[in-house]
Structure 1
């Protein structure tokens, strides 16, 4: 999943719900050590961020039916950044951890390079047999230098643009996804179409939800952005970062953004209110839109390929088991089942989370989504997944993205100059990296 999933992945809960999730996770760590395999009742706790979609797609209920001695309790924190901070605190203290923890792709390098001793080696439970189910890059990202497998992949985040056809019609813009793909074949074309929309829509609706969203979408198109292949932090001199930053600042200065900070209540409400017409749409965002726009949004949304002529990836996640789980064996069995091809296929068809399992990717290639105007989502996201770059990931990928998008929020919401905001991002990254 996701921001994530970074969304990728993200649905977000506010502070009270995040606290409730932490309490649920804490209860899970202190539960009985009885085993489902010997007939004992087992409660497995799953702590996630955003919307992975397992519960929404009915997968937990299906697993519990297949395993009547198992009860699954999920907690979820809305903001992945908040989730990660809480997870670090629990890992450091050795308590309050769930049996299964979600790991966003932007954090997986930190796990494999700095925290491998805090997670179970899934090979001890038979994970090596799953290696050929994934692309080499997806598998390798969760593998430590000594060969330990620390997580199994859930989804990936191939990118597209989701847009409101009803708002496009009112503004006199075309709604056909193929025609739009031609008009916004470049990012300049995308912003130019946005200016046309803004001229007709006025101040009540905007072209994009936020410039932070635009930045994340663009940076996802690049192989090298924050780190080089040697592990050196190079974001200050990265052409990819500069291009994404400059384009995002331009969108803010031209008034194309609704200035909605992602994963906030106001942003959630805007999916149905019409406050924005387009949004950067990694595959996991489909499920998020359905959840926020509800039944009233069906048929009002569509999906078109990404601008820029290059596919991209934003988000995607893994499931891992912290050391000390009293139900590590049962937790692995659940992870293995949730990440198997049939379940990943169901997740995409019901929630839009694009599979990382090669078998599931093949199975969903002809899927269309009735909610999104019968868009060929299997084809659109499948092509994006095939051609997305294999990104160079560093231990602070998530932190760098967070600081830069926070700085862009300053530009659009407070009117901070681009230069001042960038200096704030540099200082924040310096503090985060240490």
Structure 2
């Protein structure tokens, strides 16, 4: 028996460009060798509870017939909540050890909070032995779920390869070329000045967007975006200084539309040709095509991020709560292996949900070479595949979400109130460092 529940709660907050839209359908998967049926010790049916969010829940639902065929007598319940509500519920469940699912999906931005001592199973231990699979995944994705002690706390299923999407018609009117956008961050901003003068279009939706990418570049091995390996805050540094300076230049030249991701004004800006570029995960092209701005089909192209930057935006992981029912953990692991190690399952989700696979075995499939109609026939998946192989792992921290909020607040004070950048970074450093060990 399969049950699917959709839990709706008030107060779900939009989560920026890492949030997935709810898309339909996914292809079926083929069997993974080594997955065998299990039943309870008394022969009774077992119940596997999977907690997920859109559109990962659709990939899970599509795989259930195969999983149930491999595990006769196993009941599967999928509890699907909206993105923010799901992660709030999982935080509560892990903290209180109540209402724990057998396994859960986690978005990468929440991984740090969940991975630091709040109750995820160490998948390096028997019977999982997950480290043996590391070379089968995009390196940065697998390593993001590996803590500083070597524990693997989640397995990646899809990734958000960063890309720059831009409007060719607006660039042509301004005499701007792709190389003008991608050569350097300063060149990107200067190209925006020319585009705005020639077309009236904004370079990007929000000045925050450029900060979000720049702070993810130049990170040293073992460091995270906001903290080093010893939980020392890294805000009052040249990396953040440059990100704030570029964002301020964007605002001073009135190059951003000052709209928030997923707002109606944001979507309308794409439909009306009022925004010339967007930096996001590769999945953004599908969102533009499917529902944001289908009327702009053929006018967009994809490129690598400016200045040779390679960064990720989004990504989904599977994890097992440490205090979930012990007798169900082997079943939960079997399901995780099906969703992450099956080439056919990964490709099915890619082709129907635009869930860019974390599994390297998929990367030679001809689907990557197919032209994308929305991008005027550009085979952009090859571009994104190359970027995925170049992205470096960034360590996550349990206070990443708090740090991001503080940095955004201080950036807004710089952009809207004229607060000096050095003072804003110093204040952010102080607040974030005070929270680092909580």
Question: 1:45 — aligned with what?
Answer: 50
| Residue of structure 2 in register with 1:212 after alignment | 208
Residue number in structure 1 paired with 2:19 = 10
Give the counterpart of 1:222 among 199, 202, 218: 218
Residue 188 of structure 1, CA deviation: 1.2
Rounded to whole Å, the distance in 1 between the matches of 2:303 and 2:49 is 39
Are 1:149 and 2:152 matched, yes or no?
A: yes
CA 1:305 to 1:135, structure 2 compared with 1: closer, same or farther past 3 Å?
closer
**Superposition pairs of residues 273-352 of structure 1, within 5 angstroms:** 273-293=272-292, 295-326=294-325, 327-340=328-341, 341-352=343-354
Question: Residues 309 and 125 of structure 1: is their aligned pair in 2 closer, same or farther, counting only changes over 3 Å?
Answer: same
Partners of 2:311 and 2:360 lie apart in 1 by: 18
Indicate the residue corresponding to 2:106 in structure 1.
103
1:309 is displaced (CA, Å) by: 2.6
Distance 1:83 1:8 in 2: 17
Mapped partners of 1:11, 1:408: distance in 2: 25
Q: Distance in 2 between matches of 1:271 and 1:60?
A: 32
Deviations 1:166-197 (A, max 9, x none): 4445x4445xxxx4035531111111111112
Number of the residue aligned with 1:20: none
CA distance in 2, matches of 1:370, 1:228: 41
Q: CA RMSD in A?
A: 3.7
Q: 4+ runs of 1 displaced by more than 6 Å?
A: none
* Structure 1: gaps spanning 5 or more residues: 1-5, 14-33
- TM-score calculated relative to the size of structure 1: 0.76
Please point out which of 93, 98, 101 is paired with 2:96.
93
Separation (CA, whole Å) in 2 of partners of 1:153 and 1:248: 32
Distance 1:361 1:127, change over 3 A: farther
The 1-side partners of 2:427 and 2:89 are apart by 24
2:116, 2:397 within 8 Å by CA — same for their partners in 1? no
| Equivalent position SS for 1:157 | strand
Once the two structures are superposed, residues 65-85 of structure 1 have per-residue CA deviations (whole angstroms, 9 ceiling, x without a partner) of 663765553534445xx7655
Higher alpha-carbon deviation: 186-195 or 94-103: 94-103
**Shift, 1:135, TM fit:** 4.6
Deviation at 1:348, TM superposition (A): 3.3
Partners of 1:59 and 1:298 in 2: how far apart?
30
Range that drifts further, 263-272 or 333-342: 263-272
Residue 397 of structure 1: aligned partner: 400
For the Cα contact (< 8 Å) 1:46–1:98, is it kept in 2? Answer: yes
Partner of 1:368: 371
Matched position secondary structure for 1:308: helix
1:182–1:350 distance in 2 versus 1, CA, 3 Å? farther
What's 1:18 paired with? none
| Unpaired segments ≥5 residues, structure 2 | 1-14, 23-38
Compared with structure 1, are the counterparts of its residues 90 and 228 closer, same or farther at alpha carbon in structure 2 (3 Å cutoff)? Answer: closer
1:384 is displaced (CA, Å) by 1.6
**In 1, Cα distance between the equivalents of 2:278 and 2:116?**
34
- Does the Cα contact within 8 Å between 2:144 and 2:395 map onto a contact in 1? no
1:315 aligned counterpart, secondary structure: strand
Aligned CA distance change for structure 1 residues 74 and 243 (closer, same or farther; 3 Å) = farther
Aligned match of 1:17: none
Going from structure 1 to structure 2, the CA distance change for 1:411 and 1:263 (only over 3 Å counts) comes to: farther
Distance in 2 (CA, whole Å) between partners of 1:40 and 1:269 is 51
Q: Report how far residue 105 of structure 1 moved.
A: 3.4
Q: Note if contact 1:47-1:74 (Cα within 8 Å) is conserved in structure 2.
A: yes
Counterparts in 2 of 1:162 and 1:133: CA distance versus 1, 3 Å: same
| TM score, norm. by length of structure 2 | 0.75
In the alignment, the residues of structure 2 paired with residue 289 and residue 74 of structure 1 have an alpha-carbon distance, to the nearest angstrom, of 28
1:358 counterpart residue number: 360
| C-alpha distance 234-353 of structure 1, shift in aligned 2 (>3 A) | same
Residue aligning to 1:199: 197
* Deviation for aligned residue 1:93: 2.1
Quick check: 1:162 aligned with 2:161? no
Tell me the CA shift for residue 240 of structure 1.
1.6
**353 and 418 in structure 1: CA distance in 2 versus 1, 3 angstrom threshold:** farther
Partner of 2:137: 134
Q: Alpha-carbon deviations, 1:195-233, whole Å to 9, x = none?
A: 11212333xx42101122221122222323645754242
1:153 to partner: Cα distance: 0.9
Aligned length: 395
- For the pair shown, the structure with the greater C-alpha radius of gyration is 2
Q: Which deviates more, 382-391 or 96-105?
A: 96-105
Partners in 2 of 1:407 and 1:78 — Cα distance?
Answer: 26
Asked whether the 8 Å contact 2:148–2:229 carries over to 1, the reply is: no
